[in-house]
Amino acid sequence: MKKLLNFTPMLLLLVILSSCSSVRVAADYDRETNFENYKTFAFFKPGIDKAEINDIDKRRILRAIEAELMAKGYTKSENPDMLVSIFTKSNQRVDIYNNAWGNGAWGWGGYGGWGWRTGWNNNQVSTSTEGVLYIDLINADKKELIWQGSGTGNLEMRNIEKKEARIKEFVSEMLLLFPPEK
């Protein structure tokens, strides 16, 4: 029991740190696909051209994908086994924090003197742009989707280095889920 109590703070810290990830990722795939058959890739230009982001960010995303796939042992090819496409969405996120407390009480009301006062009502509203990046992996012969990853997170970055790091984070977190474990 004592060992369990000694281990609990470390476990709690691990849970807290893992829940603080700023990118939420998910993946879906065709269960009939044997991912061991895929060794090469190329980018699917018609799909990438439709992504509604600027060309600089597209190149950043494609470089990050290429680096991650090559680190996994895949090779870029003119005659690929799979095609890589991307698309994006963005949503305006609105968070409302209600900092009201108390139902009221008798007390000093500043200029109003003594009397019944309600609790402070201090609502705060914050807005941010939340983006979703999708990476599609497509069977090159059949032109069928075999794997799709998505990453969701805050995108507002004015600093170029932070923006590039954020894009790499999106891509690496998503591609941790590829190839899927069966």
The answer to whether residues 92 and 129 touch, using CB atoms and an 8 Å cutoff, is: yes
For 128, list phi and psi in degrees, rounded to 5: -150, 160
In 3D space, the residue among 63, 114, 54 whose CA is nearest the CA of residue 88 turns out to be 54
Burial 123-147 (b: 16+ CB within 10 A, else e): eeeeeeebbbbbbbbbbbeeeebbb
| The predicted structure's pLDDT at residue 93 | 67
Give dist(CA 88, CA 91) in Å, integer: 10
Domains of the chain: 24-94+130-175 (3.30.160.670)
40 burial type by CB count under 10 A (0-12 exposed, 13-18 middle, 19+ buried): middle
Pairwise CA distance, residues 141 & 77, whole Å: 14
The pLDDT assigned to 100 comes to: 54
- Which has more pLDDT, 125 or 70? 70
Model confidence pLDDT, tens digit, residues 123-176: 777 776 688 999 999 999 999 999 999 999 986 678 899 989 999 999 999 999
What is the predicted pLDDT for the residue at 124?
77
- 46, 10 in Cβ contact below 8 A? no
Residue 55: the pLDDT is 94
- Report the alpha-carbon angle 18-93-51, nearest 5: 90
